[in-house]
Amino acid sequence: MYYKLYSDAAKSPSSDIIGIGVLLVDNHNQIQARFNGKATDNHEAEFKACIESLNFFKSKLSKRDYNKVTLTFFSDSKILVDSLNKRYAKHYQNYVNQILELESEYNLVFNNWIPDNKNHGAHNLANQALHDLN
């Protein structure tokens, strides 16, 4: 079972409100979701978006299928992807630990950075989620 999971965050410049966009792709079928939250900066917002996207993904699976899953996670946040691949983040280690714990339930997980222009789906959903609150 192979899935692609994209996440992105959008932060309000005037508050700690964030919008989170999630795009799950399975055999060319897409499931979209958007959420809201709070973060003190853009980096924290991206870590929270990753956690939210992994929780969303988990909610779509049967527990008995976890060990059959190969997941490729995509984000346009270099600090997020680099931190996950190094398993370390100076200021965000708590989030790294939470994410790695969520990912450990699956057979295989790849964390990949993509440029902004390849993450339009999750980006648009994050902006919509932020706009929903205004």
pLDDT at 134: 62
- Kindly report the backbone phi and psi dihedral angles of residue 114, in degrees, each rounded to the nearest multiple of 5, phi listed first: -130, 150
Give the pLDDT confidence of 82-92 residue by residue, as tens digits. Answer: 999 999 999 99
pTM: 0.95
Report the alpha-carbon distance of residue 90 to residue 99 in Å, rounded.
15
- Percentage of the chain exceeding pLDDT 70: 99
For the stretch 24-38, pLDDT in tens is 999 889 999 999 999
Torsion angles phi and psi, residue 112, rounded to 5: -125, 135
| Domain spans in the chain, listed from the N-terminal domain onward | 2-132
Helices and strands (H, E) in the chain, number of each type:
4, 5
CATH architecture, domain defined by 2-132? 2-Layer Sandwich (3.30)
